[in-house]
Amino acid sequence: MVFADLKNDFVFRRIFAKHPNILRGLLNDLLERQGERTIESIEYLPSEQLPLVAGAKLSILDVRCRDRAGTTFVVEMQLLHVAGFENRVVYNACKAYVDQLKIGESYAKLADVIAISICDFTLWPDGAQDAANMPRVPMLSRWSTMERGTGAPGLLQVQYAFLELPKLPDRKPETGAELWAWLFVHGPELTEVPKELPQGPHREAVELANEATFTQLELEAYRKVMDEIQQARDYGEAQRIEGLAKGLAEGHKLGRAEGHKLGRAEGRAQGKRETLLRLLKRAGLVPTEAELSRIQACDDVALLDQWAENVLGAKDVAGVMG
């Protein structure tokens, strides 16, 4: 058996946006809802993000639902730590809260919102917390408002939960949020449904991730998204390496003649051109001679950056270069 990656946007929506019992199990585990607080049923709400289609760009695809009490849950899978991520999470949660109310309606109609982010990266590294003499943030963290002096909780209408997958312990968990994290991280390594996996949402999610249950169109969409994810990661790594190299070069050249600035600018543009060509090659896009000449002649760093971003989901080089 071959199992698809549950972190893939397409697979995540295929499973959690179409099977309410599985999503309900995920919510109960991540929010530690038990007993009277257990979420018994949910209804799906429209997502404000891009539709689930083959070839969609690497956008943040979320799943939204509401329980019987009226609480709205916004669940997203985030693979890359993009700039402003935390601010966007807060913005989307607050927007979901505000958007419940139509003009003229009473504020009393507003119900709680809980934003849940499953992150394939570390938001609060242990080393950074230690250096700041602050408590370490666990793999599953939940955030709400409290009074600063006494620590009394209040204003709980908008809350947040984060599952940082890189903080997964080495041991294999048996149930709960840690088991979800283990499946998100190690699911693609499975060759069969684990016999010890109990009946319920965890097992159902793994069974639906079996690529044998996918149609041909679904397989193509899944692999397309995988390619786009890898392209985005390659681009991010190229940008990181380029930034380090640029910082070192500028540090060594600090104080030299003005003419050296031109050399640095050209070197930066050349790096951008090489990054763009690598991304085009990985995406299977072959530029014509005219397009290649245009790329090689371009020394506008901002424009080269824009072309590189356009590679994701593009059908041809003309579409990349606009």
Q: 65-79, pLDDT tens digit by residue?
A: 999 889 999 999 888
Specify the pLDDT at position 232: 67
CA atoms within 13 A on the CB side of 89: 23
Q: Taking the alpha carbons of 5, 176, 91, 148 in that order, is the dihedral positive or negative? A: negative
Distance CA 204, CA 208 (A): 6
Amino acid at residue number 139: M
pLDDT tens per residue across all 322 residues of the chain: 899 999 988 899 899 999 999 999 999 999 999 888 899 999 998 865 444 333 333 444 578 999 988 999 999 988 888 778 899 899 999 999 999 998 889 999 999 999 999 999 999 999 889 888 999 999 999 999 999 999 999 999 999 999 999 999 988 887 899 999 999 999 999 999 999 898 999 999 999 999 999 999 999 988 888 887 777 666 655 555 555 555 555 655 555 544 455 455 666 788 788 888 888 887 788 888 888 889 888 888 888 888 888 887 788 898 888 7
Helix (H) or strand (E) holding 215: none
pLDDT score at 227: 80
pLDDT of amino acid 174: 79
15-42: pLDDT as tens digits: 999 999 999 999 999 999 988 889 999 9
How much is the pLDDT for 50?
40
Euclidean distance between CA atoms 314 and 296, whole angstroms: 20
Q: Return d(Cα 278, Cα 33) in angstroms, integer.
A: 47
Q: Provide the pLDDT for residue 110.
A: 94
Q: Helical H runs in the chain?
A: 9-16, 20-30, 85-98, 126-131, 176-186, 201-209, 216-253, 259-282, 289-297, 301-310, 317-321
Distances (CA, A) of 296 to 20, 131, 272, 273, 286: 51, 45, 10, 7, 14
Q: How many CB atoms lie within 10 A of CB 107?
A: 6
| Residue 53, C-beta contacts closer than 8 angstroms, at least 6 positions apart | 221
pLDDT at 245: 56
**Distance, CA of 193 to CA of 256 (rounded, Å):** 63
CB 207 within 8 A of CB 193: yes
pLDDT of residue 111: 94
What is the model's pLDDT at position 114?
Answer: 96
pLDDT on residue 51: 40
Rounded distance, CA 151 to CA 264, Å? 52
Short-list 130, 156, 127, CA closest to 144: 156
Put simply, whether the predicted model's pTM sits higher than 0.75 gets the answer no
